[in-house]
Amino acid sequence: MHIAIWGNELIAWTAAAAFAEYGNQIHINSDAQIPRSLSQQSEQNNVLFNEPGLLHKVKQHYDQGQLLCGQLDEALACPIQIIALAPDKLELAQQLLGLAAERVPFSLLVINYATFGLGATDQLNTLLDIKRDQVIAYIPDNLSEGNAYERFTQTDTLVIGCQSSKGIQLIQALYKPFSRHLNQLLPVKTHEAEFMKFASNGMLALRLGYINELANLADQLDIDIDTILAGLGSDPRIGKHYLSPGCGFGGSYFSKTIESMAELLKTNRNSIILNTLIEENEKQKTRPFRKLWQHYKTDVAGKKIAVWGLSFKPNTASIQNAPSLNVVKTLLAQGCEVHAHDPQAILNFSQEFPANGQIVYHEKALDALQEADALLILTEWNEYWSPDYAKMLKLMKQPVIIDGRNILEKTLLRDLGFTYYGMGR
């Protein structure tokens, strides 16, 4: 099938790679005005660089001619149009659909992946002509950065928000290669599907926020959060997912939906539950710093601080809304010298905080520890889980570890002579 995909978001490139893999002819572009080559498009957005393996897949299909960029007229004439734009690009989506609706002679299927807000898909639908068999569907994506391709191609539930049975049929055909893992196909109304997307992300965020609050409280009451979590997780009503406290969630994708849901709740219900959550999450991001601040009795100026982990989560180079941004900003403002390490995100991070006398980037994690007064762990990259403690002890001036992700074994560390602070432990 000929598919046009509009957008530069993670879902745009993931869908492009996945659909191209199974024989579809893909046109991917970020807007209908300026034709851009693959490299020009990928330069506009770090998604392709940040997501492991995705760039490789995209390039492969591009080289094989299965994936095309810059042929705007052809793209606008495709019978399947996929909107995968950023949440603030509704106007652009309207413009694109207006053009496509004119050009495609008959049977146009529009799939909207973009999180424009509740009712946006119905709004886009008004641009289509039902008499000419032009239909729209909203599919909430459940991608998570770091393993987006797997999530897309191995989904176990496919929610399709679509009022047209023909549209649903066509989508089923399109998703056929990915149906091996599919347990449930759930056709719903478009605005119900949109709501589902907001609702599930909001629920996850609330859970994370609550766990973080519990950990903070546990800290203050001298209770070990690990014990509490073991109990909580064994309760089948609660389960074990999304139950790890840490220094706040980030990423562009998740954060954007939470913000939209917060706005929706605020406007319609005058409810600030998610706004409070976002606010608390921002505070949570600097919690490792606050532990350092208290350890050094508010006197941190001139201290040499090692930071492990800059990306907002492991296996991505993305630093969007990452706790490291807040922590490093505060460390620098308070006069600390920062020595940072991250397996993938240094390039992105150094664009925000260029290396200078006050901030130095290291290729090897241990190198960042030389003469350090403390180590802050902000991302749970695999290589940080079991470091060479003996070397660390030798390198660090003060063996103080603040584990923002609770990945280290606190008793062992204390026995080895480290001063260890976790999140709620």
Partner 1 sequence: MNVFATDASARLYEHAKFMGQRHIAQLFQEDPNRFQKLSFELDELLVDFAKQRLSTETLQHLCQLAEEKALKRWIKRLFNGEKINTSENRPALHTALRTPIDQSLLLDGTDVIQQVHENLDRMSRLVECIHSEQWLGCTGTPINTLVNIGVGGSDLGPFMACKALGEFSSPASEKLEIHFVSSMDGSHLSSLLSKLDPTRTLFVISSKSFTTIDTLANAETAREWLKRAEVHAEMDESLIIKRHFIGVSASPQRMVDWGIPESNHLYFWEWTGGRYSMWSTIGLPIALRIGMEGFRDMLAGAHVMDCHFRDTPFTENLPVLLALVGIWNINFLNITAHAILPYDGRLSHLPSYLEQLEMESNGKSTTRHNDQVNYHTCPILWGEIGTNAQHAFYQLLHQGTVPVMCDFITSAKRYEAPGHEELKHQHQLNLSNCLAQSQILALGDTVIKDADQAPAYKRYRGNQPCTTLLMQRLSPYTFGMLIALYEHKVFVQSVIWDINPFDQWGVELGKTIATGLLPALTQEQACEALDSSTLGLIRHINR
298 DSSP 8-state letter = T
Q: Cβ 291 to partner 1, closest distance in Å? A: 8
Q: Is 356 left (phi over 0), alpha (psi -120 to 50) or beta?
A: beta
Three-state DSSP at 249 gives coil
Residues of each annotated binding site for NAD(+): 115, 145, 256
Residues of each annotated binding site for substrate: 197, 242-246, 250, 313
Nearer to partner 1, 198 or 289 (CB): 289
Q: Cβ 25 to partner 1, closest distance in Å? A: 48
370 binds partner 1 (CB under 8 A): no
Q: What is the rounded distance in angstroms from the CA atom of residue 169 to the CA atom of residue 167?
A: 5
Q: Cβ 54 to partner 1, closest distance in Å? A: 36
Give the per-residue contact string, 220-249, with partner 1 (x = CB under 8 A; - = no). x-----------------------------
Contact 365, 384 (CB under 8 A): yes
290 binds partner 1 (CB under 8 A): yes
Exposure string of 113-143, with b = 16+ CB inside 10 Å and e = fewer, is: bbbbbbebbbebbebbeeeebbbbbbbbbbb
The distance from CA 219 to its chain's CA centroid, rounded to whole angstroms, is 28
The distance from CA 357 to its chain's CA centroid, rounded to whole angstroms, is 31
Q: Helices 273-285 and 323-333, interaxial angle, to 10°?
A: 50
Nearer to partner 1, 207 or 295 (CB): 295
Q: Which residue has the tokens 């260029």?
A: 354
Q: What are the CA-CA distances from residue 239 to residues 26, 67, 269 (Å)? A: 40, 41, 29
Nearer to partner 1, 333 or 390 (CB): 333
Q: Cβ 333 to partner 1, closest distance in Å? A: 4
Contact 3, 27 (CB under 8 A): yes
Q: What is the rounded distance in angstroms from the CA atom of residue 157 to the CA atom of residue 171?
A: 14
Among 49, 210, 242, 293, binds partner 1 (CB under 8 A): 293
Among 71, 165, 179, 294, binds partner 1 (CB under 8 A): 294
Nearer to partner 1, 292 or 317 (CB): 292
- Give the number of other Cβ atoms within 10 Å of residue 319's Cβ: 28
Region from 17-25, 64-72, 291-299, 412-420 binding partner 1, contact rule CB under 8 A = 291-299
Give the per-residue contact string, 2-41, with partner 1 (x = CB under 8 A; - = no). ----------------------------------------
Nearer to partner 1, 13 or 289 (CB): 289
- Phi and psi for 342 in degrees, rounded to 5? -160, 140
Q: What is the rounded distance in angstroms from the CA atom of residue 178 to the CA atom of residue 160?
A: 14
Nearer to partner 1, 288 or 343 (CB): 288
364 DSSP 8-state letter = S
Among 277, 292, 310, 368, binds partner 1 (CB under 8 A): 292
Map the footprint of partner 1 across residues 246-285, applying CB under 8 A: 283
Contact 274, 205 (CB under 8 A): yes
Among 95, 164, 330, 370, binds partner 1 (CB under 8 A): 330
297 binds partner 1 (CB under 8 A): yes
Region from 100-108, 132-140, 205-213, 329-337 binding partner 1, contact rule CB under 8 A = 329-337
Residues of each annotated binding site: 115, 145, 197, 242-246, 250, 256, 313
Among 256, 291, 303, 313, binds partner 1 (CB under 8 A): 291
Q: Is 235 exposed, middle or buried (0-12, 13-18, 19+ CB in 10 A)?
A: exposed
Region from 152-160, 189-197, 243-251, 328-336 binding partner 1, contact rule CB under 8 A = 328-336
Q: Cβ 220 to partner 1, closest distance in Å? A: 7
Nearer to partner 1, 191 or 290 (CB): 290
The arrangement of strands across the sheet holding 2-6 comes to 67-68, 25-29, 2-6, 80-83, 108-112, 134-138, 157-162, 184-188
Map the footprint of partner 1 across residues 179-208, applying CB under 8 A: none
**Binding footprint of partner 1 on the chain (CB under 8 A):** 220, 283, 286, 289-294, 297-298, 330, 333-334
